Structure 1
C-alpha cells in the first residue's frame, strides 16, 4: 500500500474520550491521507469505473456543553475504481465555520442539542440560527463537482470529486441556504433542492440546471416551521413534505427548539410541477408519520408513486440505550429500531386527490438507495441498511424487491458497521459499494457486492489505510461524469500520488 499524509488538523478533543458518539466506531480522524496500491481480497469487477464518495460527521473540538453526532465537521472520503485499480483519499470540508474554529482552537457555535443563544458568535447558519454549517450530512455529484450539504440548511460546498479539494461555495446558493438531500436527475442533469426555516413561508424549492445555473426558485407556504429532511422527484414533478414532527410552537416562542410528534396531524406530501410556482402545489394527506428518507418516486398513469421509510414512533421512545439515561433521552431519535423505520409506498392520485398507502416490508431498514440511472423513474430494487439496536449504526444491507417483496440480507459481522450503500451501474444488475469500520480489528474496508447476490457477501474487500469514523450518506459517480477522469494513465494520479 502506497500512502502519503496530506495534512493534519488541530483537535482539542480529550485523548481518552468517553462520549458514545466520539469513541468506538465513531472515533474521529484528524489526519488526511491519499493511498494507492491498496490491498484487495477478492477481485474488483472489471466494469467498476468511478468513485464512491462518503460524507462523515467528524468533530475536532468538544461541544460547548452537549455534543450530538450530527454536530461533527464534514470529512469526505473517496474510493476510486478504474481499470481494476483502486485509490483512496480523505479530506475535511473547509467550510467557513471549520476554518474559524481551527483559528480559534475551540467550538464557536451551538450544536443541535444546545440553545442557539449559547453560541460564542452571534452569526451562524442553519434553520435554527447560530449553528455551524459543517457540510457534513450529504454528498452528491452535479455538473462534475461534488456538493457537500448540511441537514439544517447551509451553503453547498463544492468539492473536487477526485482530490477532495474544497472549491468554495455554490454561487447560486439562495438566502436560507440549501438542505441536505438535493436530488440530481440523471436524464436532464438538473439539481432539485429545498430549504426551510423559522420565517414565513417556511419552505423554499428550487432548480439548478445542468450548467450549474439557478433557473427556478419559489416559496412554499406551510402552516408553521417544519423539519423536512428529504424530498423526491419524478420526470415532471417535485415531491415535498409537511411531516407532523416539528418544533413545539409554545416552546419555540420561548426560544427552545424541542421537536415533538403530533399524531393527530396527517403526513402531507406536496406534488409540484418541477418548475411550478408555490401556488401550484397539491397536498395529499396520509397516515401520520415522519419520513426521514425517501427512496424514489415515479409516475404511473394518473398516480404519483412515492417510496420511503414510514416511522411507527418518530420520537423514538422505544429506543434502547445501555448506559446513561441522559444519553437515552438525547439520542432516542437516532436508532432505526427505536423509530420503527419500515419501507412504505404512497400512491397519490392526481385525478381524485386521494392517497393509497401500503407497507412494503415488516423489517426495520432505512437509508435506501436505488440505481441512480432510474431515479425519478420506475425501478424494481431498493438497497437499504439495517441498524444496530439502540444505536445510530448500520450493521448490514438488505436488497428489497419492490415487485415481489422478496429480500436478500447480508450482515457485516459483530462489531463491524457500515455507511450508506451506493449503487454502481455495471454488467448484470450492477454493484453495491460501501465502507465499513471494524472496531475490534481497528481497521476499515471498502466492500464491493454483486447487487444481484447481496447475500453472498462482498466480491472484493479493499483495505483502507486508517480506521474510518462511522458515517452516514454516500453517493456513486461514474467515471464518465468526472472531468479529468481519463487524463492520467494511472488512476493514482487522481489523488496526487505518483502511482509507483
Structure 2
C-alpha cells in the first residue's frame, strides 16, 4: 500500500485562538506540536485501554440500576495526515461503565475496524479526514471510516456506526472486544448510517443508508435474530446528508433536508462542500415501518436541518416528531479560526427543541417551536421509543465565551429536562470548565413496558478541565436538580459522541 508521509504541523504554522490551557498531562506526546481546539483540553485524545473494578462512589448507586452505559467517540491515535484534522476524524473509542448490585466497573477500548487495523500495522495515520482532500487511491474509502459516531445494542452485540454511513462493527458488550463486521446474515450489501434504531421491546433493527449514487437512500429492517427482512430503495432527487430518523409503532420517518454537499465539487476537487438551500423545503417521508409497502408519503416543512430526534409517536391520524432544529446550519465563519473556520462555524450552530406533526389522512404539516434554549443530544427513557413521551433530557450548549472552549467548540455544560405536557423545564449545570456527554435514560431494572418514564436514571460522563478528573453522574429522572451519585473514573475521559444503555437482562442472568 502506498501513502504519503504525514504533514508535520506545528503551533508555529497553525495558529488558532488558544484553547483552554495546555494539553492534559495524559495526552499523547505528538499533541504538543498542535495548536488545535479539538486536540487540546477536554477534547484531547486518551489512548490508554484499561479496566477498573469497584469504582469510588459518592452517594449511593440505586439497587435497580443494572446494566451498561456505553459511549462511542473520537480519540485520535496517530498524528493526522494533514493540518485539517476535524473533531469527527478521531479513532472510535468505546467507554463503558457497568452497574450491578450497587457497584460499578469501567472499561475503555479502541474499536478495531478495518481502517484501524491497517493503520495499526503501519504505525501511522494513512487516511485523510472529512475536511479532505479525499484520496480516492486509498483502499476501501477516500477518507477514513472511523465508526466513531453512534453505538446501539442489537442481537447480543453493541454496534458501532458512522455518521457518513459506513461499515457497522459488532462489539462484545462485556469485554468491548471487536467481533467483526455486521452483515445481517450476509444480506447487508451496503453501509449503515448512524442513528439506525433498535426497538427495545422487540429487539428488531430499523436502519437507513445514504450514498452519492442512485439509489440515494434506502430503508430496511432486520429481525431480532440478525436476519435481514427487507431493504427498500428510497427515491430522492440527489445525494442527501440525513443524520437521524423517526420511528413510531407503524411508521419510519425519513429525512430529505435541504443541507447537502455539491457532488461536482467532490468529483472535481476531492472535497465535500456543504450548502444550505433555503429555497427548498424540508421533506419528511413516512413509510410503513415493517416494509409491508414501499410507498412513501412525503410531507413538506420549512427549510432547516436536523441532527437528532428526541422521539416520535402516533395519535389518531397524526404522527408527531420532536427533535432539535437548526434554522441555519451554516453560521458565519470567524476569520480568527483561519484554515479551520468552516469546521468551527458548523460547531457553533444553534439548535432548538421543535415539533413537527403530519396528518396521514389529509397530508397537512404542522410545526412549531417548543423552546429557544440551545440544546442537543435529546434522550428519552430507553423503553419508550416510538411511544408517546412526556419528558426529553437534552444537553445544554453554552453561550460562547471569548478565549474558552465553551460555545466555540459546542461543549455541553448542563442537563435540561423538558416536560412536554406542562412546558416546565428543570436543569442541572455541571460547573465552570466541566463538560458533559449524552445522557441515556436507563429504565429501572424490572420496569419493562410499564410506561412510567420517571422510573429511570439519566447517566452521564463529565470531564473537569480544571483538574482533569472524570465522573459518571447518576440522576433520578423524576428530579434532576442534583445527581444522586457520582462515580469517579480512574482516568480522564475525552469528550465523546453518542451513547446507549444496555439493560442488565441483556448481558447478565439477572
| TM-score greater than 0.5 by the shorter chain | yes
1:304 aligns to what? 319
Q: Is 1:412 aligned with 2:430?
A: yes
Matched-pair contact (CA < 8 Å) for 1:316–1:334? no
- Pairwise mapping of residues 192-231 of structure 1 onto structure 2 (< 5 A)? 192-231=206-245
- Pairwise mapping of residues 388-467 of structure 1 onto structure 2 (< 5 A)? 388-426=406-444, 428-455=454-481, 457-467=482-492
1:331 aligns to what? 344
Q: Is 1:37 aligned with 2:54?
A: yes
The C-alpha deviation readout for 1:101-136, integer Å capped at 9, x for no partner, is 11112221121101213x6x52224xxxx1222110
Which of 361, 366, 384 is the equivalent residue of 1:356?
366
Change in Cα spacing, 1:12 to 1:94, as seen in structure 2 (3 Å) is farther
Q: Is 1:247 aligned with 2:273?
A: no
Which of 23, 28, 42 is the equivalent residue of 1:25?
42
Change in Cα spacing, 1:151 to 1:277, as seen in structure 2 (3 Å) is farther
- What SS does structure 1 have at the residue aligned with 2:268? coil
- What SS does structure 2 have at the residue aligned with 1:171? coil
Change in Cα spacing, 1:53 to 1:485, as seen in structure 2 (3 Å) is farther
- CA–CA distance in structure 2, aligned partners of residues 225 and 452 of structure 1: 42
RMSD of equivalent CA atoms: 1.8
Q: Is 1:274 aligned with 2:289?
A: yes
2:306 aligns to what? 291
Q: Is 1:57 aligned with 2:70?
A: no
Q: TM-score, normalised by structure 2?
A: 0.88
- CA–CA distance in structure 2, aligned partners of residues 414 and 272 of structure 1: 45
Moved over 4 A (4+): none
Matched-pair contact (CA < 8 Å) for 2:37–2:409? no
- Pairwise mapping of residues 138-153 of structure 1 onto structure 2 (< 5 A)? 138-153=150-165
The C-alpha deviation readout for 1:311-366, integer Å capped at 9, x for no partner, is 1211122x779x5333333221113xxx2200111110001111001111111111
Matched-pair contact (CA < 8 Å) for 1:221–1:278? no
The C-alpha deviation readout for 1:173-213, integer Å capped at 9, x for no partner, is 63331011111112221111111111012001110111111
Change in Cα spacing, 1:175 to 1:227, as seen in structure 2 (3 Å) is same
User: How far is the alpha carbon of 1:391 from its aligned partner?
Assistant: 1.6
- CA–CA distance in structure 2, aligned partners of residues 397 and 161 of structure 1: 26
Matched-pair contact (CA < 8 Å) for 2:31–2:39? no
2:65 aligns to what? 48
Q: Give structure 2 stretches of 5+ with no counterpart.
A: 1-26, 398-405, 448-453
The C-alpha deviation readout for 1:141-191, integer Å capped at 9, x for no partner, is 112211011111111111111110111111226333101111111222111
- CA–CA distance in structure 1, aligned partners of residues 462 and 491 of structure 2: 11
Change in Cα spacing, 1:47 to 1:230, as seen in structure 2 (3 Å) is same
User: How far is the alpha carbon of 1:250 from its aligned partner?
Assistant: 4.6
User: How far is the alpha carbon of 1:29 from its aligned partner?
Assistant: 1.1
- CA–CA distance in structure 2, aligned partners of residues 270 and 327 of structure 1: 35
Q: Is 1:83 aligned with 2:101?
A: yes
- CA–CA distance in structure 2, aligned partners of residues 28 and 391 of structure 1: 15
Change in Cα spacing, 1:401 to 1:446, as seen in structure 2 (3 Å) is same
- CA–CA distance in structure 2, aligned partners of residues 69 and 17 of structure 1: 14
- CA–CA distance in structure 2, aligned partners of residues 99 and 250 of structure 1: 32
1:70 aligns to what? 88
1:496 aligns to what? none
Which of 213, 230, 233 is the equivalent residue of 2:247?
233
The C-alpha deviation readout for 1:347-390, integer Å capped at 9, x for no partner, is 10001111001111111111101112110010100000011322
Change in Cα spacing, 1:14 to 1:252, as seen in structure 2 (3 Å) is closer
- CA–CA distance in structure 2, aligned partners of residues 205 and 131 of structure 1: 24
- CA–CA distance in structure 1, aligned partners of residues 241 and 416 of structure 2: 28
The C-alpha deviation readout for 1:81-105, integer Å capped at 9, x for no partner, is 0000100000000011001011112
Matched-pair contact (CA < 8 Å) for 1:12–1:106? no
- CA–CA distance in structure 2, aligned partners of residues 114 and 349 of structure 1: 42
Which of 100, 109, 124 is the equivalent residue of 2:140?
124
1:6 aligns to what? none
Q: Is 1:481 aligned with 2:510?
A: no
The C-alpha deviation readout for 1:9-40, integer Å capped at 9, x for no partner, is x9783445422101100111111110011111
User: How far is the alpha carbon of 1:392 from its aligned partner?
Assistant: 2.4
Q: Is 1:115 aligned with 2:130?
A: no
- What SS does structure 2 have at the residue aligned with 1:397? strand
The C-alpha deviation readout for 1:284-316, integer Å capped at 9, x for no partner, is 000100011111111110111111111121112
Matched-pair contact (CA < 8 Å) for 1:383–1:397? yes
Matched-pair contact (CA < 8 Å) for 1:42–1:460? yes
Q: Is 1:106 aligned with 2:124?
A: yes
